C-alpha cells in the first residue's frame, strides 16, 4: 500500500541551548489516517509553523518519532538520507499564497514536480493536465500565473501539491485569502482528492469558515497538541 497516513509521537523541538533555549514543541502526538483531512488550529506562536516545518522535513526536530506510511522517517534522528527526495515525492505542500513560479505557465508549474522526479515531460504534462481538469482550471493551462485570479492560482497550487500523488499533503492556511464560497470549495476539493488518492492531509488554519468542515481537529497550545472532534470536544487528555 502506498501510505498509511501520518503518525507523530512525542515530537519535541528546542531552539537554542542553555538559558536562552526555547521549546517550540514540547510534546506533539498526531495520527492522520489515509484519506483523512484533519485541521490543526492554535494561536500564533503556538508552534503550528514549527510542526509543519518538522513534518515537511525542512527542519530537524529535537526528539520524537515521525512515521510516514510504513516508513519511520524520524526517530530521534532522521532515518531518511535524501530529505529533498522525500519532500519531492512523498510530501505535497499547499501554502496560503500560491507561490507559483512566475516564469512557467500553469501546466509547467504543476508538471515541474514530476519532471524533477525524472518523469518524461510528456507524461508529466499529461498528469498535470489531468489534475487541472479535476480542479476545473484546465481552460487556463497555457496561461502565465500572473494572469490568473487568486482562486485559480490557489487551485493550481493545490494541483501542484497533488501531482506527485504524495501520501501526505501539508496545507498552510490554504483558504486565508479566499472568500467563504471559494474557501469551502477548496476544502471540498481537498476532501475529494484525499478520498480519491488516499492522501492524508493536515490543514493548518484559523479560518472560522472552514473549521466546522473537519471531522477531527488537533489543537496546539504551547507546543502540545490536543485532539478534539468536530464539535469541539477534547478527545485526548
Return the sign of the alpha-carbon dihedral for residues 218, 220, 224, 230.
Answer: negative
Return phi, psi of residue 86, to 5°: -60, -50
Q: Is 96 among the residues that bind another protein (CB under 8 A)? A: yes
Q: Which stretch binds another protein (CB under 8 A): 15-23, 85-93, 194-202, 216-224?
A: 85-93
Enumerate the β-bridge partners of residue 228. Answer: 217, 234
Q: Which stretch binds another protein (CB under 8 A): 8-16, 31-39, 107-115, 223-231?
A: 107-115
Contact (Cβ atoms closer than 8 angstroms) between residue 136 and residue 155? yes
Cβ neighbours of residue 143 closer than 8 Å, sequence gap 6 or more:
105, 106
Q: Is 85 among the residues that bind another protein (CB under 8 A)? A: yes
Q: Other CB atoms closer than 10 Å to residue 96's CB: what's the count?
A: 18
Q: Is 138 among the residues that bind another protein (CB under 8 A)? A: no
Contact (Cβ atoms closer than 8 angstroms) between residue 156 and residue 109? yes
Of 147 and 195, which CB lies nearer to another protein in the complex structure? Answer: 147
**Cell 476545473 sits on residue:** 136
By CB under 8 A, name the one of 112, 138, 211, 224 that touches another protein.
112
Contact (Cβ atoms closer than 8 angstroms) between residue 137 and residue 186? no
Q: Scanning residues 24 to 63, which ones bind another protein (CB under 8 A)? A: 49, 52-53, 56, 58-59
Q: Is 125 among the residues that bind another protein (CB under 8 A)? A: yes
Q: Which residues bind another protein (CB under 8 A)?
A: 49, 52-53, 56, 58-59, 84-85, 87-89, 93, 95-97, 99, 101-105, 107-108, 112-113, 115-117, 121, 125, 141-142, 144, 160, 170, 172-173
Amino acid at each position: 500500500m502506498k501510505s498509511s497516513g501520518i503518525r507523530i509521537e512525542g515530537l519535541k523541538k528546542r531552539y537554542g541551548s542553555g538559558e536562552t533555549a526555547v521549546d517550540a514543541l514540547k510534546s506533539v502526538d498526531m495520527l492522520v489516517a489515509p484519506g483523512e483531512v484533519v485541521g490543526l488550529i492554535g494561536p500564533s506562536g503556538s508552534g503550528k509553523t514549527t510542526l509543519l516545518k518538522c513534518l515537511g522535513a525542512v527542519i530537524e526536530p529535537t526528539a520524537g518519532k515521525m512515521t510516514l506510511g510504513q516508513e519511520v522517517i524520524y526517530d530521534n534522528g532522521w532515518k531518511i538520507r535524501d530529505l529533498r527526495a522525500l519532500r519531492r515525492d512523498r510530501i505535497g505542500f499547499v501554502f496560503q499564497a500560491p507561490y507559483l513560479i512566475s516564469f512557467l505557465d500553469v501546466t509547467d508549474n504543476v508538471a515541474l514536480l514530476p519532471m524533477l522526479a525524472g518523469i518524461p515531460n510528456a507524461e508529466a504534462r499529461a498528469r498535470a493536465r489531468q489534475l487541472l481538469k479535476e480542479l476545473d482550471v484546465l481552460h487556463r493551462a497555457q496561461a502565465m500565473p500572473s494572469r490568473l485570479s487568486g482562486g485559480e492560482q490557489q487551485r493550481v497550487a493545490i494541483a501542484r501539491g497533488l501531482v506527485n500523488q504524495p501520501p501526505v499533503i501539508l496545507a498552510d492556511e490554504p483558504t486565508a485569502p479566499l472568500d467563504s464560497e471559494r474557501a469551502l470549495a477548496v476544502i471540498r476539493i481537498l476532501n475529494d482528492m484525499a478520498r480519491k488518492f488516499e492522501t492524508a492531509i493536515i490543514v493548518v488554519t484559523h479560518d472560522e469558515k472552514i473549521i466546522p468542515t473537519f471531522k477531527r481537529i488537533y489543537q496546539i497550545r504551547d507546543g502540545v497538541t490536543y485532539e478534539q472532534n468536530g464539535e469541539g470536544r477534547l478527545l485526548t487528555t
